[in-house]
Each structure stands twice: as C-alpha cells, then as structure tokens.
Amino acid sequence: MNWLRNFEKSIPERLRPYVTAYVVVGLLICIVSILIFGNLVDGVSENESIVAFDIALANELHRGATTTSTSIYLLISLFGGTILFVWSVVVGLIFAWKRQRLGLIIWVVTISGGQILNAALKLFFARPRPTFASPLVIEQYYSFPSGHAMMSFIAYGMLAYVICVLLKNNAQRLVVTLLAALIIILIGISRMALGVHYFSDVIAGYSVAALWLVICVTVWRSIQQRRSHHSPTA
C-alpha cells in the first residue's frame, strides 16, 4: 500500500479529495472489466471460439461428475445463493445496529443493485443454459452472466473490503483477500461443474461484478474522504 500513499502525495492538495490512487486503480479495473465483458459478449453473440470452448468444457465436466462431487458442488453453490443472502442480511443488520448509516446505504445499494443489474443483463442477452440428456441440476431463467458468480464477487468482495478497512495488519488483510477470492472462484467452478452455466457466463459475471464493486467502493471512499476533508477536526 506504500506506493498508493506515495502516489496520493504527488497529487496537488486541492485535487486529493477527488483524485486518489484508489480512484485511478478503480478506473483501470473498470476499463479492464468492460473490455473483458465486451469481448465475451461479442464472442457469444457471434458464435466464436469461446462458444465451442464453453460447450466442450461443459460436456467434459458433465461426463466427470459423480454423486459425491455433485453434492460437494451443491454445497459450495449455496454460498453464492441462499447462504450469501442470509449473511448479507446479517451484515446489513450489523450496520443498522452500529448506526453506520452510510455503510448500511452503500451495502444495500451494492447488493440489491448487483441483483438488479444481473437480472437486467440476463433478460437482455437471454442466453439459454447448458442442456444435457441427464442434467445434474435444473435451473430456470437465463444463463448469461452467472448470477452466483456475479453476486459472490460483489458480496464477498465488499465484505472483504470492509474487514480489510478494520484490520491494521497487512498480512491479515492479505489472508482475508485470498480467502474471499478462493470462495468466489470455488462458487464459479461449482456453477460450471453442476452444468448450469458456461465458462463465459462465469467470467462475464466476474467482470460485471468487478465493475460494480469498484464503483460502489469508490463512491463510499469518496464520501468518507470528503467528510473527513470538511470535518472541523481535520
């Protein structure tokens, strides 16, 4: 994080409340996310090589599925669905209990906004889910982008950010970040292994989630920094 602090010190003081290292990094992440998502959309809509890869991988994962592996992936998948919803509500209640109004608003907007964005994208692209003669799991609604992948990235990503802000030790922050990343990746794998999403669905979910998460975190940090800048004790 030292390079971020050094970068911020190089910014003219009057611009620091608006242009920070985090804003610049966030902008870069947004650009990369948009490029990835755009390429995936082009590839899927134009039936390019990514579609062939999607189908080949989906068939291979389906052939290798066992009763045990399916049970494990169903459990993992819950952490991107029902379990995610439950603890998201709990986190919101904690913000309310602590009277962290800004945190509560950002949390609700982040989670609910992600759900709305995912539903809108699914409806717009209307991509059918993978089909098999003997499906492991049957899901309704459309496939692109993966809702579990997208919401797990948003929710676990934001939770990791909140925890990292509270922690002072960089090693602990790294552990939290890696743990969140592991959960997110496993949830994405579980959706492919269960045969309810293609590879491109999952990556598209991650890319849109990264974009939305960065926007929410950046807005949160900007509001906090402006409040700190205008505080009488600052």
Residue 3 lies in a domain: no
Report how many domains make up the chain: 1
Q: What are the start-end ranges of the H helices in 126-198?
A: 147-166, 170-193
pLDDT tens per residue, range 126-144: 999 998 888 888 888 899 9
Q: For position 211, what pLDDT does the model report? A: 94
Percent of the chain with pLDDT over 70: 87
Does the pLDDT value for residue 15 go beyond 70? no
Q: Rounded mean pLDDT of 187-211?
A: 95
Query: Quick one: what percent of the chain has pLDDT higher than 90?
Result: 60
d(CA 39, CA 19) in angstroms, rounded, equals 29
Q: Where residue 47 falls among pLDDT bands split at 50, 70, 90? A: confident
- Distance CA(126)–CA(128), nearest Å, equals 6
pLDDT of 172 > 60? The answer is yes
Determine, yes or no, domain membership for 14: no
Is 75 within the bounds of a domain? yes
**How much is the pLDDT for 228?**
65
Burial of 165 (0-12, 13-18, 19+ CB in 10 A): middle
Could you tell me the pTM of the whole model? 0.86
Q: What are 170's two structure tokens?
A: 């960089």
Mean pLDDT of 40-48: 85
Residue 170 has phi, psi (to 5 degrees) of -65, -30
Task: Give the range of the structural domain holding residue 216, as residue numbers without chain letter.
Answer: 22-227
**Confidence label for 14 from pLDDT (cuts 50, 70 and 90):** low
Give the model's pLDDT for residue 26.
Answer: 75
Residue 160, pLDDT score: 94
Phi-psi region of 65 (alpha: psi -120 to 50; beta: other; left: phi over 0): beta
Average pLDDT, the chain: 86
Assigned domain for 142 exists: yes
Q: What stretch of H or E contains 47?
A: none
* 15 inside domain: no
89 assigned to some structural domain? yes
In a domain, 8, yes or no: no
Which residue type is seen at 30? C
Q: Tell me whether residue 135 is in a domain.
A: yes
Q: Interhelix angle for 147-166 vs 170-193, to 10°?
A: 170
| pLDDT-derived band at 234, boundaries 50, 70, 90 | very low
